[in-house]
Chains A and B, each alone.
Chain A
């Protein structure tokens, strides 16, 4: 549901900084505010997150040494031991953006459990847009304050920096889509609370699939052939595997179309589920 402003209030928009701008732009600006709020809310936890970044870097270090130990001297597929160091270091840097930092499922399910969902749904704003934009702001924080420190620490072991500017651009787009795709997946996990109340099992299933089939800790080529094919076609591959391959210049940026396909498909599905959820909503308590 997009915000429809009644004609009797239309004069107010003339005083808006974007006065004269179409309603569509005004609507997007609103979501930018939600995203900013999501970003700012996290700023107060910077010190605590810094400690966590050290722990994340230690995990990265453990995985790097595991891969150094098992990678044969001639490498496997596109990967040498050095490439594997870069692969793990990059994925450990983006892990909080694309997976661990996402909390939207908890927020939605908590709203359902507490009954606050009733007041949230009657607000004159698209519920899906509100939740997702706020989470994307929070994810931007995760990348800057939780991911980059991990990358900085792991750069002492080894980090790849692409020379071509266009690689950075494609990586940025791939990461934005990766963050978005997982936020939408977790939003749907949260929405399931309208029917089940309890989302813990589904949460762990989605996290395990994202981490295991997303390629965060190992390239998908390592998996058994059938599982590799399934993983490559799943939306989870857009979270870590493809962004890492683009960043390491092992894949063409064409794979971004695949991520875009999943982003659009999952958005449509999530919006459909939101409409269904509105119909089954029961708020108890007074």
Chain B
């Protein structure tokens, strides 16, 4: 990276931190609303957890993955999704920007529109998924370490995988948001590209038919962030490549999604209001 690019990156990062700080301060002006929002989210996200807990309580394993192994898989995906909703929440509600013509205001700022978009409304109320992920991880990791299914290095790798999972959710979310420049309404599409694959990735991908598994590992690759590394780290097969492929694939997906976003921006039509 040449010095000019480094300085540009640092400036962008400083700006991002400043904008995010302003967003958080504005949210904390209404502390009760913040707490209520956190509680609502906590109730909302409880369901997936209850379903998986009941299934494992009744049947003890899913496709030879026991409760702690499924828990680790679940926690990595939930942490990744939680971080995505925390830092990229505006991608998830991007349809509103296009429908109401609010994207105009981002184009007149002297910095990239994506940076402005992501620094708006950092929603701390979305931390429920992160809290849930940490909670499940706190139960599963010690159990896996105790019985020797995982060593300390593996545990750290597992935690790092949540960042990979975030990157993959962000790539899919960004590509879906880009579609809004052409088709405007993307809420239903997001259910198909982000939420359904997110739910699917909570379970071992072995249980799905080949075409669905391939979809979750290639076009909508949210399964790459948790399933592929977990298979190797938990001793269920694979090789060291299981740890190398996910970050490379995440970088490629992020880059491709960003290129798509830049292309899509040029197709933007304001509402004229």
Residues of A within 8 A of B (CB): 48-49, 51-52, 54-55, 58-59, 61-62, 65-66, 68-72, 76, 198, 200-201, 204-205, 208, 211-212, 217-218, 222-224
> Complex: how many Å from CA A72 to CA B61?
11
**Chain A minimum-CB-distance residue to B197:** A58
* A118 CB, nearest partner CB in chain B, Å: 26
Grouping DSSP codes into helix (H, G, I), strand (E, B) and loop, the B interface class, with mixed when no group exceeds half, is helix
Q: Which 6 A-B pairs have the closest CB atoms?
A: A69-B207, A55-B191, A55-B192, A51-B188, A52-B188, A70-B59
**Chain A minimum-CB-distance residue to B192:** A55
B212 close to A (CB within 8 Å): yes
> Complex: how many Å from CA A205 to CA B203?
25
For this complex, 10 residue pairs linking A to B, each with C-beta atoms less than 8 Å apart, are A48-B188, A70-B55, A70-B62, A76-B58, A200-B36, A204-B44, A208-B44, A208-B47, A212-B50, A218-B51
Known contacts A69-B207, A201-B36, A208-B44; is-contact A62 B196 (Cβ 8 Å): yes
* B66 CB, nearest partner CB in chain A, Å: 12
* B16 CB, nearest partner CB in chain A, Å: 30
**Chain A minimum-CB-distance residue to B42:** A204
> Complex: how many Å from CA A18 to CA B53?
57
Q: Choose from B51, B192, B209 the contact partner of A217 (Cβ within 8 Å).
A: B51
Asked if A58 and B54 make an inter-chain contact with CB atoms under 8 angstroms apart, the answer reads no
**Chain A minimum-CB-distance residue to B41:** A204
Give the chain A neighbours of B191 by CB distance below 8 A: 52, 55
> Complex: how many Å from CA A279 to CA B54?
44
**Chain B minimum-CB-distance residue to A62:** B200
**Chain A minimum-CB-distance residue to B46:** A208
> Complex: how many Å from CA A66 to CA B203?
8
Known contacts A59-B196, A61-B212; is-contact A201 B39 (Cβ 8 Å): yes
> Complex: how many Å from CA A218 to CA B50?
11
> Complex: how many Å from CA A205 to CA B244?
42
> Complex: how many Å from CA A211 to CA B39?
18
Give the chain A neighbours of B57 by CB distance below 8 A: 224
Asked if A55 and B188 make an inter-chain contact with CB atoms under 8 angstroms apart, the answer reads yes
> Complex: how many Å from CA A59 to CA B192?
9
Asked if A218 and B196 make an inter-chain contact with CB atoms under 8 angstroms apart, the answer reads no
* B188 CB, nearest partner CB in chain A, Å: 4
Known contacts A55-B196, A212-B50; is-contact A66 B55 (Cβ 8 Å): yes
Give the chain A neighbours of B196 by CB distance below 8 A: 55, 58-59, 62
B3-30: CB near A (< 8 Å → 1, else 0) gives: 0000000000000000000000000000
B189 close to A (CB within 8 Å): yes
B241 close to A (CB within 8 Å): no
Give the chain A neighbours of B63 by CB distance below 8 A: 69
**Chain A minimum-CB-distance residue to B55:** A70
**Chain B minimum-CB-distance residue to A224:** B57
* A204 CB, nearest partner CB in chain B, Å: 5
Asked if A65 and B209 make an inter-chain contact with CB atoms under 8 angstroms apart, the answer reads yes
Q: Choose from B47, B61, B207 the contact partner of A212 (Cβ within 8 Å).
A: B47
Known: A70-B62, A212-B50. 4 other contacts (CB 8 A): A62-B196, A62-B203, A68-B207, A218-B55
Known contacts A62-B199, A201-B40, A208-B44; is-contact A222 B188 (Cβ 8 Å): no
B185 close to A (CB within 8 Å): yes
Asked if A205 and B43 make an inter-chain contact with CB atoms under 8 angstroms apart, the answer reads yes
**Chain B minimum-CB-distance residue to A222:** B58
Q: Give residues 179-232 of B contacting A (CB, 8 Å).
A: 185, 188-189, 191-192, 195-196, 199-200, 203, 206-209, 212
Known contacts A48-B185, A70-B62; is-contact A204 B209 (Cβ 8 Å): no
**Chain A minimum-CB-distance residue to B212:** A61
> Complex: how many Å from CA A116 to CA B54?
44
> Complex: how many Å from CA A54 to CA B189?
9
Q: Choose from B51, B61, B192 the contact partner of A58 (Cβ within 8 Å).
A: B192
Give the chain A neighbours of B43 by CB distance below 8 A: 201, 204-205, 208
* A86 CB, nearest partner CB in chain B, Å: 18
> Complex: how many Å from CA A55 to CA B191?
6
> Complex: how many Å from CA A59 to CA B62?
18
> Complex: how many Å from CA A55 to CA B57?
28
